[in-house]
Amino acid sequence: MLLLRCPLPLLLLLLPLHSRPQKLPTRDEELFQMQIRDKAFFHDSSVIPDGAEISSYLFRDTPKRYFFVVEEDNTPLAVTVTPCDAPLEWKLSVQELPEEASGEGSGDPEPLEQQKQQITNEEGTELFSYKGNDVEYFVSSSSPSGLYQLDLLSTEKDTHFKVYATTTPESDQPYPELPYDPRIDVTSLGRTTVTLAWKPSPTASLLRQPIQYCIVINKEHNFKSLCAVEAKLSSDDTFMMAPKPGLDFSPFDFAHFGFPADNNSGKERGFLKSSKFGRQTPPKPRVDLHRVCIGNKNIFTVSDLKPDTQYYFDMFAVNTNTNMSTAYVGTFARTKEEAKQKTVDLKDGKVTDVFIKRKGTKFLRFAPVSSHQKVTFSVHSCLDAVQIQVRRDGKLLLSQSVEGVRQFQLRGKAKAKYLIRLKGSKKGASMLKILATTRPNKQSFPSLPEDTRIKAFDKLRTCSSVTVAWLGTQERNKFCIYKKEVDDNYNEEQKKREQNQCLGPDTRKKSEKVLCKYFHSQNIQKAVTTETIRGLQPGKSYLLDVYVIGHGGHSVKYQSKLVKTRKFC
C-alpha cells in the first residue's frame, strides 16, 4: 500500500489508463524506498509517503489538503501531526474510492473527468479533528479502504509542521518510546550550573536502537516538540555538535547567550558551526535558545549560566536512524543567587515562584510597609511536601509540612519583619508558589475544602459514563473537569509521577476537557457538586482531574481520580 499526498488532479493523473480495471497504485517497496531517498519527490507536493515523516509549510488562513490511499479494509493506520511554531487545526476524513470501470464489457477505462467527479462530489466521513499545538495522533487498528484526506489550517501565522503516516505502526515505531517516568530531574543546582538526569528511553535500553539525547535550554518557556525548537531558532550556527570527551561540563559557548566567555573558548571546545550547502547567510538576531546533543548519556551538567536566573530545560530522545524525536516532560530551575544574596524579598499580595533542590533550603523575607493586625501566607507546593518555618523578629510562629495548598494566618505586629525558611523534600527537587499579604481580601489562591478528593459512585457506573462528586467552599469559584484515557495497568504510583500540580488546565489538551462550571454554597455542609461524564468507552480506564480557578487566575488541581467504565451492561 502506498500512502499518497498530492493535489487531486495530480492524484487522478496517477491512475493508470489501460484496458484493465483501474486502481490507485499499491505500495511497491523498491519504488517506495527510492522515493524516500529522493526527497524532491515529496517536496511541496501533496503525497504522504508510507512510513516517512514529511515537513511542510502553511500560510496563515490558507488551508492545505493532503491525500493517501488505503486499498484494503481492516488495515492498521497511524497518523501523527506535529505543529512547530503555531497551533494548527487539522482534520482527517475518508471517502470511498471510485468504482472500477465496467465499460459495458469493453474494458475501456472511465474518462478522467468522470473519476474526478466521483471523488470530489462525495463528502468524506470525518474520522478525527484537533485544534492546538500539541503533537497529536490518530491511531486505528482496523481502518477501511478509501481515499484519506488530511486538511490543515493555521489561523495565527505562517508556520511549519510535520506529518507522519504508516500502515505498519506496530513494526515501524519511528518515534522513541518514553520511560515510565518521563520527567527530567534537577539533581544539582549551583549559581552557574544545573545538573540534569533522566531515565533512558526503552527504545535504546530494550530495543537496542540508536538513540541520542538533545537538551534545549532557554529563559522563556518549555517546548512540546523538537520541531518547535527548530522553528524558534533563527540562525544555523546555534545548533551545536556533541562536545568532545572530557568537556561535557562546558557544552557550548554562552557568549551570545548573555554570558561572558573567553575569546579562545570556542577553539578549545571544538565547536562546529554549520552552514547548509556552503551558502553564506546574513547575520540574524541571536535568540536565548540553545540545543546540544550529547549522545546516549542520561546525566548532564549545563554550565556558564547566570546566577539567580530561571531557565527552562527540555529533553528530546532522537532516533538517529529515522531522525524522529519524542519530548520528555520539561522542567525549569532557578540558579542560586550570589553568596551575598541569601534571602528573597516577598512583595505584599504578589505570588512568587520558588525552586528548591533536593534537601535544599531557601530563605524568604517579608517586611510589610504599613502597620497590620494580621498577615496571611498562602503556599502551593507543586511536587512533594516542603517544610515551612515562619519567624517574626526572631520568634518562631509556625513550623509545618505543606503538601498541596495551605493558608496560614498569623497575628501581626507594627514594623515586624518575617523570615520564612523553606526546606525541600528528600525525594527530589521542589517547586512551589508562595504569597504573603496583610490584606485579607488579596487572595490569588482559590479557597479549598479540607478534603480535595474526587469521589466516584460505583453503583452509577455504566459502560459509557461515570458519576463523580467533589467538595466546594462558600466562595464562588470556577471548576473545570478533565479526563484522560489510561492503560488498565495505570496505578497510584504512576499517578504520582504526573506533571507538577501547579500546571493549570491551560496545559491540557482541549480534547480532554469535559466542562467548566461555577459553584459555591453558603451552607458548607451542602457545598457538594456532582457530574456525570459521558461518551466513554466500555471497559476503559480514565484519569479524572478537577481544577479550581480563583479570582486571580491561579488554579489548583484536586487529587486525581482513576475510574473504569463497566465492560458489560
Give 346-377 pLDDT, tens digit per residue: 998 888 989 888 888 899 999 988 778 889 89
3-state percent helix, strand, coil for the chain, nearest multiple of 5: 15, 40, 50
Among 15-29, 126-140, 428-442, which stretch is predicted with the lowest mean pLDDT? 15-29
Give 182-196 pLDDT, tens digit per residue: 999 999 999 899 999
> Domain check: are 161 and 184 in the same one?
no
User: Of 28-37, 397-406, 465-474, which has the strongest mean pLDDT?
Assistant: 465-474
pTM score of the predicted model: 0.43
Neighbouring C-beta atoms of residue 28, cutoff 10 Å: 11
- Of residues 234 and 56, more confidence is placed in 56
Residue 133 forms part of a structural domain: yes
pLDDT at 185 (0 to 100): 93
> Domain check: are 76 and 162 in the same one?
yes
How far is the C-alpha of 397 from the C-alpha of 482, rounded, in Å?
Answer: 39
Q: pLDDT-derived band of residue 45, with 50, 70 and 90 as boundaries?
A: low
Identify the CATH number of the domain in which residue 291 sits: 2.60.40.10
- Of residues 309 and 3, more confidence is placed in 309
Mean predicted confidence (pLDDT) in 89-97? 87
How far is the C-alpha of 80 from the C-alpha of 138, rounded, in Å?
Answer: 6
Q: Which residues contact 44 (CB under 8 A, 6 or more apart)?
A: 56
Identify the CATH number of the domain in which residue 133 sits: 2.60.120.680
pLDDT at 36 (0 to 100): 43
> Domain check: are 163 and 211 in the same one?
no
- Of residues 97 and 538, more confidence is placed in 538
> Domain check: are 185 and 324 in the same one?
yes
To the nearest whole number, what is the mean pLDDT of the chain?
77
> Domain check: are 71 and 193 in the same one?
no
Length of the chain: 569
How far lies 183's CA from each of 78, 180, 357, 452, 483, in Å? 26, 9, 15, 25, 21
Give 244-266 pLDDT, tens digit per residue: 333 333 333 333 333 333 444 33
Among 166-180, 417-431, 495-509, 522-536, which stretch is predicted with the lowest mean pLDDT? 495-509
> Domain check: are 330 and 198 in the same one?
yes
Neighbouring C-beta atoms of residue 150, cutoff 10 Å: 22
pLDDT above 60 for 21: no
Q: Which grid coordinates are listed for 62?
A: 490558507
Q: Which amino acid is at 545?
A: D
> Domain check: are 362 and 460 in the same one?
no
> Based on the structure, what is the number of domains in the chain?
4
> Domain check: are 323 and 228 in the same one?
yes
Question: In the listed set 156, 172, 188, which residue is the last one of a domain according to the structure?
Answer: 172
Residue 291 forms part of a structural domain: yes
How far is the C-alpha of 384 from the C-alpha of 377, rounded, in Å?
Answer: 19
Among 98-102, 125-129, 239-243, 270-274, which stretch is predicted with the lowest mean pLDDT? 270-274
> Domain check: are 333 and 231 in the same one?
yes
Residue 404 φ/ψ region, left for φ over 0, alpha for ψ in the -120 to 50 degree band, beta for the rest: left
> Domain check: are 85 and 148 in the same one?
yes
Residue 64 forms part of a structural domain: yes
- Of residues 328 and 278, more confidence is placed in 328
Residue 517 forms part of a structural domain: yes
Question: In the listed set 407, 437, 467, which residue is the last one of a domain according to the structure?
Answer: 437
Q: Using an 8 Å Cβ cutoff, are 418 and 430 in contact?
A: no
Q: Which grid coordinates are listed for 555?
A: 488554579
Mean predicted confidence (pLDDT) in 30-44? 44
Residue 551 forms part of a structural domain: yes
Q: Using an 8 Å Cβ cutoff, are 482 and 470 in contact?
A: no
How far is the C-alpha of 491 from the C-alpha of 489, rounded, in Å?
Answer: 6
Residue 115 forms part of a structural domain: no
How far is the C-alpha of 158 from the C-alpha of 84, rounded, in Å?
Answer: 10
- How many contiguous H segments (helices) and E segments (strands) does the chain have? 8, 32
pLDDT above 80 for 102: no
- Of residues 253 and 80, more confidence is placed in 80
- Tell me the residue range of the domain where 191 lies: 175-238+287-338
> Domain check: are 181 and 292 in the same one?
yes
Residue 445 forms part of a structural domain: no
pLDDT at 309 (0 to 100): 92
10 Å CB burial of residue 223 (0-12, 13-18, 19+) is buried
289 three-state secondary structure: strand
Question: In the listed set 391, 412, 437, which residue is the last one of a domain according to the structure?
Answer: 437
Residue 557 forms part of a structural domain: yes
Helix ranges (DSSP H) in 260-394: 265-269
> Domain check: are 157 and 228 in the same one?
no
Q: Which grid coordinates are listed for 498?
A: 504526573
Q: Using an 8 Å Cβ cutoff, are 11 and 34 in contact?
A: no
pLDDT at 40 (0 to 100): 41
Give 289-337 pLDDT, tens digit per residue: 888 999 989 999 999 898 889 999 999 999 988 888 999 999 999 999 8
pLDDT above 50 for 509: yes
Taking CB atoms within 8 Å and a gap of at least 24, the contacts of 59-62 are 59/154, 59/158, 60/154, 60/155, 60/156, 60/157, 60/158, 60/159, 61/153, 61/154, 61/155, 62/153
Report the relative pairing of strands 125-132 and 64-70 from DSSP bridges.
Answer: unpaired
Mean predicted confidence (pLDDT) in 22-48? 48
pLDDT above 50 for 94: yes
Q: Using an 8 Å Cβ cutoff, are 417 and 363 in contact?
A: no
